[in-house]
Amino acid sequence: MFEKLNILDEKDERLRKISQETTFPLTEEDKKLIKQAIDELTYSQIEEYATKYGLRPGMGLAFPQLGLNKRIIIIVHEVEEGVFDEYVFVNPKIVSYSEEMIAAEVGEGCLSVNRDVEGHVPRYARVTVEGYDIDGNKIKVRAREELSIAFQHEIDHLNGILFFDRINKNKPFFNENEIRLI
């Protein structure tokens, strides 16, 4: 039985708080929510299930979006049709990043933002993220392009930042000479 997560709306002030470091071991409730988030993010990217369960497509989720002040993010990245890589990071930190900047050409979306927001969000083209898996083992990933954007977006949630905070109000769109659009 699939049960949808209760994701906070952008108006909820809990999304603007800086999340607390998470301690180990994780609670059973945390592990259950992580599994539920992986299922929902996966289903949301498969049209048949997205339609069946009324899901908006999403590839990432941070615990603050569930009203929990914990530094935990989940990303489900479709690497080819129907094939997904799952990333669960506890206490993630970006430890290095490229000089090159990119932006999603169509802009970014967010499961907590139930409206279209126009504008490009400047992000690092490549990031290295360190953190811990659900068992407390140290993990590290080098992410590029779309996956790099997802990690930066979700880590922003842990710091009370929503993607539209990063859109330049005076110049919301870039051209190809200013930033690489993907």
Note the pLDDT tens digit of each residue in 136-154.
999 999 999 999 999 999 9
- Report pLDDT for 16: 98
Across the strands, what pairs with 61? 74
Tell me the per-residue pLDDT of 44-69, one tens digit each, with 9 for 90 and over: 999 999 999 999 999 999 999 999 99
Give the global pTM. 0.96
Q: Say yes or no to pLDDT of 158 above 80.
A: yes
Residue 148 within any structural domain of the chain: yes
Per the domain annotation, does 12 fall within a domain? no
Largest CA distance in the chain: 49
Residue 10 lies in a domain: no
List the structure tokens of 136: 């407390």
Q: Residue 141 falls within a domain, yes or no?
A: yes
Which residues does 73 contact at the CB level (< 8 Å), separation at least 6?
A: 60, 61, 62, 63, 87, 88, 89, 92, 151, 154, 155, 157, 158
Strands 101-103, 180-181: pairing is parallel
127 domain residue, yes or no = yes
Task: Answer yes or no: is 2 within a domain.
Answer: no
In a domain, 62, yes or no: yes
The range of the structural domain enclosing residue 146 comes to 20-181
CATH number of the domain at 105, please: 3.90.45.10
User: How many domains does the structure of the chain reveal?
Assistant: 1
- Tell me if residue 40 is catalytic: no
What is the per-residue pLDDT for 56?
Answer: 94
Buried/exposed code over 84-102 (b: 16+ C-beta within 10 A; e: otherwise): beebbbbbbebeebeeeeb
Catalytic residue among 10, 105, 154, 178, which?
Answer: 154
Instruction: Give the containing element (helix H, strand E) for 29.
Output: helix 28-44
Does some domain include residue 1? no
